[in-house]
Amino acid sequence: MQRTIDKIINAQASSDGDGVKILRSIGSREFIDINPFLLLDELRSDDAVDYIGGFPSHPHRGFETVTYMLAGQMRHKDSAGNEGVIRAGDIQWMTAGSGIIHSEMPEQAQGRLWGFQFWINLPAKEKMRAPRYQEITSEHIPELLLPNGKVRVLAGEITDDSSSVIAGAISNIVTAPLLLDVQLNENQWQTALPKNHIAIIYVYSGELNVQGKLVKEQQLAVLSAGDSLTITANSQPFGALVLAAKPINEPIARSGPFVMNSQEELQQAFSDYRSGDFVR
């Protein structure tokens, strides 16, 4: 069954970190979350004033953060001893788990900085697991080359025309996510999607068509249930992120940098952070 579009969300201008200008689609007042996706931000500017403050040291507990870059450079450093710079085409996947303190700071003072950050929830049994960090550089991200474009397989897996499986760069994630960067110049592309996964599309350039409904640049489309997706280039080339993941049907207690299952767990996270017992 083909997936169609249930809802379209316009990304809203906002700011985060130390005054970094962003476009927020998931996590805004208009659209709080779509299980298990908690946040989706696009950061895109040619003016260093918009991003130079970066995201100084801050804590997380209970979910996963993903950063994917299209242009520019961002340095990650965390309390688990991980440190590295991600550049155009690179991705980092941080499982905060029981608690981690990290920073993400631009490694440039001029030029374009363009990337995305996602927050993906963790089920209760995984919220207090040990933190983990995966960093994959662009040359190690598999790509499906098409006559009319390409698909970068960041997480999950897809099949090509010969039914060969292309496995993504990021693996062993509890929500079994599929994360694709689809860049199409013309015509259409079709792929299978896990039937029981929640799925969304974020268009970061151009515009596309899903079963007759148009999605424009800086819009997010929430997809209906189904097991396949057909995306058509409408009147110009496009770039879009396709995300799908297993839903987590549990209560959410959320405040600032923490996402837990109850108010008691949320207050414990704040207490641990204030007392210095946060990083385990």
pTM recorded for the entire structure: 0.96
The pLDDT, as a whole number, for residue 234 is 85
The pLDDT, as a whole number, for residue 53 is 97
Ranges of residues in the chain with a pLDDT under 50 are none
The pLDDT, as a whole number, for residue 238 is 97
The pLDDT, as a whole number, for residue 145 is 95
The pLDDT, as a whole number, for residue 29 is 80
The pLDDT, as a whole number, for residue 30 is 80
The pLDDT, as a whole number, for residue 36 is 97
The pLDDT, as a whole number, for residue 235 is 83
Q: 233, 16 in Cβ contact below 8 A?
A: no
Angle at 183 between CA 198 and CA 2, to 5 degrees: 40
Burial class (CB in 10 A: 0-12, 13-18, 19+), 168: buried
In the chain, what are the domains? 5-274 (2.60.120.10)
